[in-house]
Each structure stands twice: as C-alpha cells, then as structure tokens.
Amino acid sequence: MVSKAKKYKTRVISTLIHHELLNRGRSLETLSIVEDVAFNLIKQAVIYLPEDVKQVLKKAYAEETSDAGRTQLKAILDNIEFAEKYQAPICQDTGTIIFYVKAGAKAKDLDKIEVALIKATRRATVEVPIRPNAVNPFTQKNSGDNTGRLIPWINWEIVAGDEIEMTVLPKGGGAENTCVMGMLVPGEGIMGVKKFVVDAVMKAGAKPCPPNILGVGIGGGSDIAMKIAKKALLRPLNVSNPDPEIAKLEKEILEAVNMTGIGPMGLGGKITVLSVNIDYAYRHPASYPAAVAFNCWAARRASARISADGTVEYLTHTVK
Amino acid sequence: MAVYKFKTPISEEEIRKLRVNDVLYVSGTMFTARDQAHKRALEYFKQGKPLPLTLEGLAVFHCGPIVKKKENRWTIVAAGPTTSTRMEIFEDEFIKNFKVRVIIGKGGMGKRTTEAMVKYGAVYGAFTGGAAILAAKAIKSVKSVEWLDLGMPEAMWILEVEEFGPLAIAIDSHGNNLFEDVKRKVEENKQKIYQKLGLSP
C-alpha cells in the first residue's frame, strides 16, 4: 500500500516537473500568481475571522445569559483579538485544507492550478505556520506538510468567463467529527429534516466547539447532500437563503437548536448555534438525503478572484 | 464559584478542594498528550519502561499545538485544547497509573474518567476550545519534546506555564460532572423543541 502510494506520488511530481519545463514563461507566471494568492488566502483565513463571523460572535456575547457561556464567549472574543495582534492562527487546529475553485472556462493554464494549490499549502505550513494535519490512514504517519493523496481537496466548478475565483475552507477536526448524513423517509418531508438537524445538534453537544454554524444539505444523493451542506458553510452569516420559505426554515431551526441549553463550549447557555445555512438539490423519488456539516465558532474562510490580466481582488479580507 | 491558583506538583489534598464551577489557574509544568501519547504512555507502564518525566501532580493538556523551531529552540505558536472524549478510553488508567491531577481539554469526559477522578483525586478543567493564542500566551517555554516520531500534534510537549487558564472546573473529585448536567438538561428540553417544530416525539 505504502510503496504504491509513493510510486503514485513520484509519478505525479515527475509529470508536473515535465509540464513545467514544457510550458515555461506565461504558465510559470500563472502558477506563481495562483500560488501566492492561495498562500495569502490560507494565511488570512487562519488568522483573521471574516467580519460577519466576528459580528455574530459579539452579538452572541451580548445576548448570552449564562455565566459559564459568557466566560467562554469572552475568551473567544479576546482570543480573536490576540490572534490579529500577534498574527498567529486563531486556533491551533488549522484544519484540513479544502479549496473551492470556480474556474472560468476561458481562463488560461487551468491545468497548473492544482500544483499551485499544493505548493501554497506546503508553504503555508512552514511560513504561517499552520499545523501539519495530513495523516496516512494506513500507516498513521503525518506527512508533515498538510499534503498527501487527494489532500488538499479541491472542489472544481467550471463557470463562464476567464476569471478564477478561489476560496479556502480550513476545516477543523472537532466540528468535522460531528458531521452527519442520513437517508431520511421521503414521506416525512421537511419535518424529517428538522428532526434530523436538532437531533444532530443534541448528539454533538460540546464536541464541535459551539457556538456552531450549521450547513444543511438536502436532496441530491448521499454524497451530494454533504457536499451542499459543507459548501453552505461558505455563505456569510448575515445572508439568508434567497428563497423566503427556506430562509424561514433556517430561522425556525436556529431558534429550535438554541433551546437545547448546550451553550458556548457545551457548558450550558442559550447560544449553541450562530447560523443555519440551508441549500438543496432535487432528490430521487425514493430518497430523501440530508446532511449536517458543523463548523466551529472559528468559522474560517477566505476568497479571492484572479482576472485574466493577473489582477487579484481579495473578497473576504483586506490584504494584510 | 471560587478562583484557585495552583502550582505543580499539585497534591491530592489540594485538588480535592475544587468543586465544579470553580475557576483554576495552573502554574508550573504541564505536558500535552493526545490519543497516541496516551496510548504509548500506558504501553510503557505495562512494559515497566520509564516515562520521559514523572507525571505525578502535573497537569495533562489534551492539545496538539503548532510549534515553531527558531534557532534550535521550540516556541509555541498556538495551543488550544482538542476534544477530550477521544481520550476517554485511556484516561482512567492514566490517572490511576500516573497520578496526574488536572486534565485540561474541551468538551468534557465520561463516566469512567469521572470515577477515576473520585477514586484517585483529579479534576477536569475545561479550556475554551479554539482559544489557541490565549493558551499560548500563558506558556512561557517549551522544556522539551518527547515522542516527536508521533508527529507534531501527537508528540508529548513538556511546557512551563504561568497562570494557565481560566479553566472551568467541569468535573471534580467528588463525582460532579457539569457536562453530564448539561446533557440531562438538553434531554429535558428535547420534548419542548420537538413540540415547537410540530414533531411527534
């Protein structure tokens, strides 16, 4: 198993070097822009929380009534400030590095992006630094650089135009461990989803570092539901689903899960979840897949857009 | 709620003063141990092999830190707690064999650990999950690192700390477990929530 993986890795690297040699000039330039932007995105994401997340946490601190809960939220807000001041990662678990790439069909050198993202991840591991979080599931060896077979994971989307939009989602392990997917009963419809989500929150309890953000994916298929759920975590917390019926459901579930009493860090309180972000796909008549993706309060994400002329626009953070 | 400041090594008598909801700050020696370090320490004990340091009276931190090596010296960059329930399968034996007094982590621990804490005198101090810089600020130096072959997160980092906290005492040595109390309340609230959503129980 190991030697096979090694062979695979060596083959990939030699192919990449070969490609690089063939396409010197412009493509190397693209490679370095994408690499630099991806590096900056990882750095921004792990050190500075997006403004919408900070605002919601401040509001939570104002609204929390339990002493234990307020102590935890105060520590969270202090920690966010310290991270910015010392330019160090908010949380030591800088997660599994996941990228979302919207690639314009007419953008050049799309075949170079994967290498650039891998290089950026390795660089961030040393230079930010972020914690090495990629472990071989057979040998339990940590690769030491946050890369390994299929990691960083890249979600590709081909869109019109010649721009490249990239988002990084450093996904922490604690909240990942409480993610759930279920094949519900079609006859129960949306009622089944409501029960599935509140049950997931009650079962997760203190584990996913509440207050959490919930991405809820409905329909599609078993894998699709979770993909949608996780992607929904990228939606800013001050934006509801554009469909008013779904926005209403988001609010209803948010109120319900905040009646559990789990509270910040599971020490008791009223703020257990900060936001419920729902998205969906059409389903098979016989299936009703649903998934809940948990994100911890350190809901890190960062995005940027690269134009065809190489201009970079950072979308979630001002460049620091 | 009372605030305590203890220095390691902490005695059984001192630790038994603590009650749930108290706040504790620890100074002195603390070491990190996650799944793999717990496993190895218990294997060593079974084989009669000595550990890299005496653990009695110390605080064990469920943490996989980010550490940077600068001019041959390790410094802690970020060091928040990891989810403690993963260590539930080891912790009762760990407390029994090594007489550690403070278990620091997040998310709480279960019945086996609580019983060992009552029997041998130890507490669980909850540190805010994700508050990695708050924690790193209280860590004054890295005394040494052991078992680095387990990888940076799983290695045993031996740390010198000053007023490390606030630790919310969530399990005490008298059998109280705050997380279990919250769990019970959540169970009580369940029917109310189902009703609000129009669900049949």
For residue A270, the chain B residues in CB contact (below 8 A) are none
Percent of chain A exceeding pLDDT 70 equals 91
* Catalytic machinery residues of B: 38
Q: What is the pLDDT of residues A24-66, one digit of tens each?
A: 455 667 789 999 999 999 999 999 999 999 999 999 999 999 9
ipTM of the complex: 0.86
| Domains in chain B, CATH or no CATH each | 3-196 (3.20.130.10)
Among the partner-chain residues B77, B134, B199, the one whose CB lies closest to the CB of A78 is: B134
B52: contact with A, CB 8 A cutoff: no
DSSP-assigned beta bridge partners for residue B104: B61, B125
Whether B121 shows a pLDDT value over 80: the answer reads yes
How far apart, in Å, are the Cα atoms of A214 and each of A114, A201, A266, B194? 29, 9, 16, 19
Q: What is the pLDDT of residues A144-160, one digit of tens each?
A: 999 999 999 999 999 99
**Would A60 be classed as within a structural domain?**
no
**Would A225 be classed as within a structural domain?**
yes
**Would A85 be classed as within a structural domain?**
no
Q: Are residues A227 and A271 in the same domain?
A: yes
CA distance A253 to chain B (A): 8
**Would A181 be classed as within a structural domain?**
yes
A90: contact with B, CB 8 A cutoff: yes
Q: Are residues A287 and A305 in the same domain?
A: no
Q: Are residues A285 and A308 in the same domain?
A: no
Whether A19 shows a pLDDT value over 60: the answer reads no
Decide if A262 and B66 are in contact by the 8 Å CB cutoff: no
Regarding predicted confidence, which is higher, A22 or A162? A162
CA distance A300 to chain B (A): 12
Cβ atoms of B112 and B92 closer than 8 Å: yes
Q: Total domain count for chain A?
A: 2
Q: Are residues A159 and A185 in the same domain?
A: no
The whole-model pTM stands at 0.88
**Would A54 be classed as within a structural domain?**
no
Q: Are residues A180 and A237 in the same domain?
A: yes
Q: Are residues A23 and A161 in the same domain?
A: yes
Q: Are residues A150 and A194 in the same domain?
A: no
DSSP string, chain B: --EEEEESSPPHHHHTT--TT-EEEEEEEEEE--HHHHHHHHHHHHHTPPPSS--TT-EEE----EEEEETTEEEEEE----BGGGGHHHHHHHHHHH---EEEEBS---HHHHHHHHHHT-EEEE--TT-HHHHHHHEEEEEEEE-GGG-TTTSEEEEEEEEEEEEEEEE-TTS-BHHHHHHHHHHHHHHHHHHHTT---
Res A31: pLDDT: 81
For residue B30, which of B53, B50, B13 has the smallest C-alpha distance?
Answer: B53
Res A184: pLDDT: 98
Q: Are residues A156 and A101 in the same domain?
A: yes
Angle, in degrees to the nearest 10, between helices B111-120 and B88-98: 10
For residue B124, which of A77, A295, A265 has the smallest C-alpha distance?
Answer: A265
For residue A78, the chain B residues in CB contact (below 8 A) are 131, 134
B3: contact with A, CB 8 A cutoff: no
What is the domain extent for residue A38?
2-47+90-171+301-314
For residue A267, the chain B residues in CB contact (below 8 A) are 126, 168, 170, 178-179, 182
Put residue A260 in one of left, alpha, beta given phi > 0 → left and psi -120 to 50 → alpha.
alpha
Q: Are residues A155 and A178 in the same domain?
A: no
Q: Are residues A182 and A254 in the same domain?
A: yes
**Would A310 be classed as within a structural domain?**
yes
Percent of chain A exceeding pLDDT 90 equals 88
Closest-CA residue of chain B to A296: B130
**Would A110 be classed as within a structural domain?**
yes
Among the partner-chain residues B77, B152, B189, the one whose CB lies closest to the CB of A88 is: B77
Whether A118 shows a pLDDT value over 70: the answer reads yes
Q: Are residues A34 and A108 in the same domain?
A: yes
Start-end of H helices in A23-86: 26-47, 51-63, 67-86
B107: contact with A, CB 8 A cutoff: yes
How far apart, in Å, are the Cα atoms of A11 and each of A18, A33, A96, A265? 10, 25, 24, 45
Q: Are residues A16 and A164 in the same domain?
A: yes
**Would A291 be classed as within a structural domain?**
yes
